[in-house]
Amino acid sequence: MEKIIKIIAEELNIKTSQVENTIKLIDEGNTIPFIARYRKEVTGGLSDETLRTLGERLNYLRNLEQRKQEVLNSIEEQGKLTDEILQAVAIAKTLAEVEDIYRPYKQKKKTRATVAKAKGLEPLAKIILEQKETTPITEIAKQYINIEQLSEEERKNKDKVVATAEDAIQGALDIIAEDISDNAKYRKEIKRQCYREGFVQTKASNPEEKSNYEMYYDYQEAIKYIPSHRILAINRGEKEDFLKVKLEKPEEKILTYIEKDIIKGKTQFTEMLKNTILDSFKRLIEPSIDREIRSVLTEKAEEKAIKVFGQNSKQLLLGAPIKGKTVMGFDPAYRTGCKIAVIDETGKVLDYTTVYPTEPQNDVEGAKKELLKLIEKDKIDMIAIGNGTASRESEMFVADMIKEASRPVHYVIVSEAGASVYSASKLATEEYPDINVSIRGAISIARRLQDPLAELVKIDPKAIGVGQYQHDVNQKKLAESLTGVVEDSVNKVGVDVNTATPSLLSYVSGINNTIAKNIVKYRDENGKLKNRKQLLKVPKLGKVAFEQCAGFLRILDGDNPLEITAVHPESYEATEKLLANLGFQKEDLREKEKLEELRNKLKSIDIEKTAKELEIGEMTLTDIIAELSKPGRDPREDMPKPILRSDVLKIEDLKEGMVLTGTVRNVIDFGAFVDIGVKHDGLVHISEMSDKFIKNPSDIVSVGDIVKVKVIKIDKERQKVGLSMKV
Give the Cα separation of 411 and 408 in Å (integer).
10
Higher pLDDT, 572 or 483: 572
| Mean of pLDDT values over 196-201 | 96
Q: What is the pLDDT of residue 469?
A: 65
| Mean of pLDDT values over 555-568 | 92
* pLDDT(638) > 80: no
Q: What is the pLDDT of residue 14?
A: 95
At 503, is the pLDDT very low, low, confident or very high (cuts 50, 70, 90)? confident
Give the Cα separation of 340 and 192 in Å (integer).
60
Q: What is the pLDDT of residue 466?
A: 58
| Mean of pLDDT values over 519-530 | 93
What is 278-343 written as a DSSP string? HHIIIIIIHHHHHHHHHHHHHHHHHHHHHHHHHHHHHHHHTPPP--S--EEEEE--STT-EEEEEE
At 25, is the pLDDT very low, low, confident or very high (cuts 50, 70, 90)? very high
At 681, is the pLDDT very low, low, confident or very high (cuts 50, 70, 90)? confident
| Mean of pLDDT values over 388-392 | 81
List, for residues 327-386, the tens digit of each pLDDT value.
999 999 999 999 999 999 888 899 999 999 998 999 999 999 999 999 999 999 999 998
Using a pLDDT cut of 70, give the percent of the chain over it.
98
| Mean of pLDDT values over 649-665 | 81
At 481, is the pLDDT very low, low, confident or very high (cuts 50, 70, 90)? confident
Give the Cα separation of 671 and 656 in Å (integer).
19
What is 601-619 written as a DSSP string? HHHT--HHHHHHHHTS-HH
List, for residues 75-129, the tens digit of each pLDDT value.
999 998 999 999 999 999 999 899 999 998 888 788 999 999 988 999 999 999 9
At 520, is the pLDDT very low, low, confident or very high (cuts 50, 70, 90)? very high
List, for residues 438-469, the tens digit of each pLDDT value.
899 999 999 988 888 888 888 877 777 555 56
Q: What is the pLDDT of residue 719?
A: 80
CA distances for 28 relative to 31, 320, 359, 447, 550, angstroms? 9, 35, 60, 38, 18
Using a pLDDT cut of 90, give the percent of the chain over it.
56
Q: What is the pLDDT of residue 467?
A: 56
Contact 104, 182 (CB under 8 A): yes
Higher pLDDT, 290 or 680: 290
Burial class (CB in 10 A: 0-12, 13-18, 19+), 339: buried
List, for residues 214-240, the tens digit of each pLDDT value.
899 999 999 999 988 899 999 999 999
Q: What is the pLDDT of residue 660?
A: 82
The domains found in the chain, sorted by start residue, are: 2-105 (1.10.10.650), 117-304 (1.10.3500.10), 327-450 (3.30.420.140), 525-638 (1.10.150.310), 651-724 (2.40.50.140)
Q: What is the pLDDT of residue 148?
A: 78
Give the Cα separation of 54 and 70 in Å (integer).
24
Highest mean pLDDT (candidates 247-261, 621-635, 652-666): 247-261
Contact 664, 701 (CB under 8 A): yes
At 313, is the pLDDT very low, low, confident or very high (cuts 50, 70, 90)? confident
Give the Cα separation of 47 and 40 in Å (integer).
9
Contact 670, 685 (CB under 8 A): yes
* pLDDT(679) > 80: no
Identity at 371, one-letter amino acid code: L
Beta-carbon neighbour count of residue 154 at 10 Å? Answer: 13
What does the mean pLDDT of the chain come to? 89
Highest mean pLDDT (candidates 40-44, 599-603, 704-708): 40-44
Q: For residue 243, what are the β-bridge partners?
A: 204
CA angle, residues 45, 568, 457, in degrees to nearest 5: 80
At 567, is the pLDDT very low, low, confident or very high (cuts 50, 70, 90)? very high
Q: What is the pLDDT of residue 370?
A: 94
| Mean of pLDDT values over 165-176 | 93
Run of H or E including 27? helix 16-27
At 647, is the pLDDT very low, low, confident or very high (cuts 50, 70, 90)? low
* pLDDT(643) > 80: no
| Mean of pLDDT values over 136-141 | 92
Q: What is the pLDDT of residue 646?
A: 65
**Which three-class secondary structure state does DSSP give residue 700?**
coil
Phi-psi region of 354 (alpha: psi -120 to 50; beta: other; left: phi over 0): beta
